[in-house]
Amino acid sequence: MMITDVTQLMPIIVGLPLAGAALIRLAGEARPNLREAFTLLTAVAVFAALAPLTQAVLSGARPEYVLAEWLPGASLAFRLEPLGLLFALVASFLWIVTSIYSIGYMRGHNEQNQTRFYVCFALAIAFAMGVAFAANLLTLFLFYELLTVSTYLLVTHAGTEKAKCGGRVYLGMLLGTSICFLLLAILWTWSLTGTLEFTPGGILEGAASTTALSALLLLFFFGVGKAALMPFHGWLPAAMVAPTPVSALLHAVAVVKAGVFTLMKIAVYIFGADLLHALPATDVLLWVAATTVLLSSLIAMTKDNLKARLAYSTVSQLAYVTLGALLATSAGVVGGSMHIAMHAFGKITLFFCAGAVLVAAHKSEVSDMRGLGKALPLTMGAFFIGSLSIIGLPFAGGAWSKWYLALATLEAGHLALLAVLMVSSMLSAGYLLVIPVRAFFSPRATDAEPVHGAPLACSLAIAVTALGCVALFFFPGPLLQLTSMIGR
């Protein structure tokens, strides 16, 4: 009885933000307080509804819910397993925080079309939940595409020529890769095996020649454009024209993590570790990922615009997760999956801070942020903590995931990869830490305008995520328990 109740929760969790979107639309521009109340309520409800599911999954259950029969072996269905749960928990928790932040940011910044913003946001979260729960590639593909479409209006929110141009790159690249490569790969898998279910150990073993499976692996990994593997990373910097809360939750957490989450699912549940180790394409992709890690770190160093710098940092960090998935050792899977959560907390903190600086001091360029530490101590302090987490230094959560990823490269005997990871971490220290250090220890320009404090709602959100980074360092236990269950 208990289990059936839990199962029903999955469609409810996907449905809640959809209903929330309708309520937000009804409240409209005329009643902004009611509208924001709906947003917060839905966010909290979604997170709360995940609690019983968490319990069930930790106790070994894999709740399943079939929405509709489609083709045999490819129904529209949900099945929750540890990786999906991790993604859902991270995304829904950070949605609550981001909602609080958005209220401060959107009002402080006097943005247009706020209702549309909140509606699209809620839709995006619903579809991200669908991605997390998907029981097979088809369901995943459905929600993956819906996520792309629903975020388009958020990217182009400003409505300027630049925003539209960014939106075009965003949509073109994401839809292009997913339709041309991912859908083809899914159809190919279907014609080879007749099933698309995520199965522990994979479904493709022995289904075709090594060459064919190698090609399939390449199609999958380049087809998931949201994972921003080079050369299909251009959409992510382009998406930075969006309002900061969008960049924070969607382009540091929900959308990009949906990408690497998909890759992880494909690696673990479609190919399986043994097959991945046997394919020559895995090595090729490992080097593509390593190149992405290094190159985007290098590009990040050259960017003066803070959001652009953070975007390239994200591209680099996503490739870490991809590496973890490709290594396919237990440490690789644990490290990669943990990094989904760790990077989410770290990067969302950084984006929140970037937005707070923009609202409070109207600065978006790194070079203009000298000496801001005195006026914005909390913001810059949090930026420091977030940077630590991204670099992988104690006392922030990122240390653990990088630790496991480094272990995985050693296990697999890829010393060169280890070197790449280390060098990139040093680079990220260079381009991230410089910002809080200069903020606190450099004098401000003498003719600078006075700075107001960041809005209260923003500061609150920043404090929560920064504390989260630290807490994840001291209490990684539950996360470790969850990630070590993946693929079992």
Partner 1 sequence: MLAANLPILPVIVPLLGAPLALLLQRSSLSWLAAMVAALAAFSASVLLLMQVSAEGAQSYALGGWAPPWGIEFRLDTVNSFVLLIVSAMACVVLLFAPQSVAREIPRQSHALFYTAFLLCLAGLLGMAATGDAFNLFVFLEISSLSSYVLIALGRDRRALTASFQYLIMGTIGATLILIGVGLLYVMTGTLNMADLAERLPAVMDKRTVHSAFGFLIVGLSLKLALFPLHLWLPNAYAFAPSAVSAFLAATATKVAIYALLRFAFTVFGVEFAFEEMALQWALLALSIVAILYGSVAAIYQTNIKHLLAYSSIAQVGYIMLGVSLISQTGLTAGIVHLFNHALMKGGLFLALGCIIYRCGGARISDFHGIGKTMPWTMAAIVVGGLGLIGAPPTVGLISKWYLVLAALEQGWWWLAVFVLAASLLAVAYVWKLVDAAYLHDPDPDTKAREAPLTLLLPTWALIGASLYFGVDIDLTIGVASQAAAQLLGGAP
Give the binding site for partner 1 (CB under 8 A): 67-71, 76, 141-142, 145-146, 149, 152-153, 156, 159, 163-164, 167-168, 171-172, 175-176, 179-180, 183-184, 187-188, 190-191
Q: Please answer whether residues 370 and 438 qualify as being in contact, where contact means their C-beta atoms are separated by less than 8 angstroms.
A: yes
Smallest gap from Cβ 252 to partner 1, in A, equals: 24
DSSP class of residue 156 equals T
Q: Give me the least distance between CB of 116 and partner 1, in Å please.
A: 8
Neighbours of 13 (CB within 10 A): 26
Minimum Å gap between C-beta 427 and partner 1 is 35
Q: Which is nearer to partner 1, 15 or 200 (CB)?
A: 15
Q: Give the type of residue at 275.
A: L
- Locus of tokens 């932040």: 101
- How far is it, in rounded angstroms, from Cα 418 to Cα 407? 9
Cβ-based nearer residue to partner 1, 183 or 422: 183
Q: What angle do CA 461, 465, 469 make, to 5 degrees?
A: 165
Of 149 and 284, which CB lies nearer to partner 1 in the complex structure? Answer: 149
CB of 168 to partner 1, least distance (A): 8
Give the residue with the Cβ less far from partner 1, 259 or 373. 259
CB of 472 to partner 1, least distance (A): 35
Ramachandran class of 201: left when φ > 0, alpha when ψ lies in -120 to 50, beta otherwise: left
> Closer to partner 1 at the Cβ: 145 or 197?
145
For residues 110 and 394, give the distance between their C-alpha atoms in angstroms, rounded to a whole number.
Answer: 38
Give the shortest CB-92-to-partner 1 separation in angstroms.
Answer: 23
Q: Please give the Cα distance from 30 to 60 (Å, whole number).
A: 47
Structural contact between residues 255 and 226, judged by C-beta atoms closer than 8 angstroms: yes
Please, are residues 350 and 432 in contact by the beta-carbon 8 Å criterion? Answer: yes
| Pair 203, 210: CB distance under 8 Å | no
Query: What backbone phi and psi angles, to 5 degrees, belong to 215?
Result: -60, -40
Beta carbon of residue 138, minimum distance to partner 1 (angstroms, whole number)? 8
How near is the Cβ of 107 to partner 1 at its closest, in Å?
A: 21
Residue closer to partner 1, measured from CB, 93 or 141: 141
259 versus 386: smaller Cβ distance to partner 1: 259
Tell me whether residue 32 or residue 52 sits nearer to partner 1 (CB atom).
Answer: 32
Which residues are bridge partners to 64 per DSSP? 79
Minimal distance, residue 457 CB to partner 1, in Å: 27
SS3 194: coil
Q: Which is nearer to partner 1, 185 or 342 (CB)?
A: 185
- Identity of the residue, 38 or 152, whose beta carbon is nearer to partner 1 in the bound complex: 152
State how far the Cα of 206 lies from the Cα of 209, in Å rounded to an integer. 7
Let me know: does 339 contact 442? Beta carbons within 8 Å: no
Q: How far apart are CA 166 and CA 32, in angstroms?
A: 28
Judged by CB, which is closer to partner 1: 41, or 180? 180
* Chain-centre distance for alpha carbon 220: 18
* CA separation for the pair 318, 312 (Å, rounded): 10
- Closest CA relative to residue 444, chosen from 361, 351, 386, 349: 361
Measured in whole angstroms, how far is the alpha carbon of residue 290 from the centre of its chain? Answer: 19
Provide the token pair at 173: 């690249």
- Least Å distance, CB 25 to partner 1, is 9
Q: How far is the CB of 289 from partner 1 (least distance, A)?
A: 24
